[in-house]
Structure 1
Amino acid sequence: MKIYKQLLTGLCLLLAFTSCSKKTDIAPAYNENVLASFSVEFDNIVGDRTLTFNNTASPYTNAAGEKFTISLVQYFISNIKVSKADGTTYTVKQDSSYFLIKSADRSTRFAKVKVPEGDYTKVTFTIGVDSLRSTMDISKRTGVLDPSGGHDGGMYWGWNSGYIFFRMEGNADAISNDVSGDPTGKKAFRYHIGGFGGYSAPTINNIRTVTVDLTAGGVAKVRKDRQSNVHLLVDLIRVFNGKNPFSIAAHPSVMFSDFSTSVSANLPGLFKHDHTEN
């Protein structure tokens, strides 16, 4: 009995020592001049399946019961902002905050930026390119925003002088041949969603803002000595099954039209926080 008590006492002392010696992860004082690495990862899925291009052997099915395949998905992410629980926010410098996510190129799935050290409970971003940048001189639109350099991946309407914010293409048997418009005979759908509105003559505005709460899946603990990555799932089935559900057969081709606003209203619902890697 005496030996048992000695062992129990020793174990309690060991646990207490371990607990006291464990380093507590306390966020440094907020300083906008001390920046650390932070990234948001965009992982494209379709319902409960990973995104696979042109999977004719096992097509996807939307809420309307239409089977479809996807051949291309690309979208702009911009104007990234992070927020702390106390309401402190930091907006990434705009020149460093434009990304083109190309699903066919996994190296583009990360939006990598610099933000002050801290514990962030929310991340906010824009789907598309804001009106200010869209109307800037071409010299201010470089990299993925350069409409003439081939870096934009076909995300600019030359005829409309504007960016395509979200582009998804594929095929669906539900589309009638007379409306597909595909010279190869494929029953193709095309969703090219853009339009930032206007000033003197307002037009279609499809810019959408997304705010993702990180508290359930893990806050982003940004530190200089580590990489913090917010992993988002982007569920493309919600293009059809979202806030404004629609059938592919009824709307096989949506570009710069009034219905594009119904499609763009579905886009914020694509993004869901899966977890955070700190």
Structure 2
Amino acid sequence: MKKLLSIISLAAALLISCSKENETTPTFDEKNLAPFSIEFDNIVGERTFSINNTASLYTNAAGEKFSISRLQYFISNIKVATADGKTYAVPQEKSYFLINGADKTTRFAKVEVPVADYTKISFTLGVDSLRSTMDLSKRTGVLDPATGGGHDGGGMYWGWNSGYIFFKFEGNSNAISDDVNGDPTGKKQFKYHIGGFGGYSAPTINNIKTITVDLTTAGIAKVRKDRQSNVHLFVDVMKVFNGKNTVSLAANPNVMFSRYSTKVAANLTEIFKHDHTEN
């Protein structure tokens, strides 16, 4: 009898073990979708991100003090990958998000992906050339040129250039010369509007950036039906100035559709850092 009980106990243990194994390594099925999100948590170096905080200014590597009045950027074309190389691209119609630093409710890019364990994610910072040139009927919601980003000067579309602003970063700094902007209010403003997707017949500036994030160090994403896995990224906007290219507010207070914008865009590839994953 004891021998029989031992066999039954062993069989039960094996079943439980197999069950747990199946829970942690589910079968990849593109039709078996579950909630997944990426959180874009804006910071400034080692400090909290805040809008119009003139009482405690930020300081970049050039020693220039500044405050921030606006931060907005597009995230699109989200993809996930497992350790064994299985990948899934979120359908484009469900994969465009506008993160607004002044509105914390926009910091999550919420999608659905197959139930699985993911060790890597990737996304586009900006709007891809194909979508940028589609008929307006295919560019709705945050991509609507007439309404994207709101009506308070936060619009994310260049009407004169017929293209999206991928990354809009604005603020004030006394490091900027008085005669740069000629602002009647006396504000010394900087404006970094980074965009440009290249062209077909006449190639131009291409500042579209694909960001790839390895999740293995700070926690893989275990996507399941009964919960929402969330990858928490810090977005360090200080890297706009302090990245691979040193950018000075005094020397370059306004960067828009110019060749210099490629230097700022190169810095944008460094602003994302995986902090942790919530499963």
The reply on whether 1:263 has 2:264 as its aligned counterpart is: yes
Cα distance, 1:39 vs. partner? 0.2
Distance 1:245 1:119 in 2: 38
What is the deviation of 1:53? 1.3
Residue 193 (1) aligns with residue 194 (2): yes
In structure 2, the partner of 1:175 is 176
Q: Is the 8 A contact 1:27 1:117 kept in 2?
A: no
Task: After TM superposition, list the pairs within 5 Å mapping 1:109-258 onto structure 2.
Answer: 109-150=107-148, 153-258=154-259
CA contact (8 A) 1:196 1:207 kept: yes
Percent identity of equivalent pairs: 71
Taking the TM superposition and a 5 Å limit, the aligned residue runs for 1:54-69 are: 54-69=52-67
Cα deviation, residue 20, structure 1: 9.4
Structure 1 residues 111 and 53 mapped into 2: Cα distance closer, same or farther (>3 Å)?
Answer: same
**TM-score normalised by length of structure 1:** 0.91
- What CA RMSD, in Å, does the superposition of the two structures yield over aligned residues? 1.7
| 1:129–1:165 contact (8 Å) kept in structure 2 | yes
Whether contact under 8 Å (2:231, 2:277) holds in the other structure is yes
Give, in whole Å, the separation in 2 of the partners of 1:84 and 1:181.
Answer: 53
Deviation at 1:261, TM superposition (A): 0.5
| DSSP-derived class of the 1:180 partner | coil
CA distance, structure 2, for counterparts of residue 68 and residue 143 of structure 1: 32
**Do 2:98 and 2:149's aligned partners in 1 also have CA atoms closer than 8 Å?**
no
Q: Which runs of 5+ in 1 are unaligned?
A: 1-16
1:143/1:151 contact within 8 Å kept: no
Separation of aligned partners in 2, 1:209 and 1:21: 42
CA distance in 2, matches of 1:174, 1:107: 32
Letter of the structure 1 residue corresponding to residue 158 of structure 2: W
**What is the distance in 1 between the residues matched to 2:148 and 2:121?**
30
What is the CA distance between 1:150 and its match in structure 2?
Answer: 4.9
One-letter amino acid of the counterpart of residue 35, structure 2: S
Comparing 99-108 with 175-184, greater Cα deviation is found at 175-184
Q: Among 74, 85, 88, which residue is 1:87 paired with? A: 85
Task: State the 1:131 CA deviation.
Answer: 0.2
1:1-16 aligned at under 5 Å gives the runs: none
Give 1:9's aligned residue: none
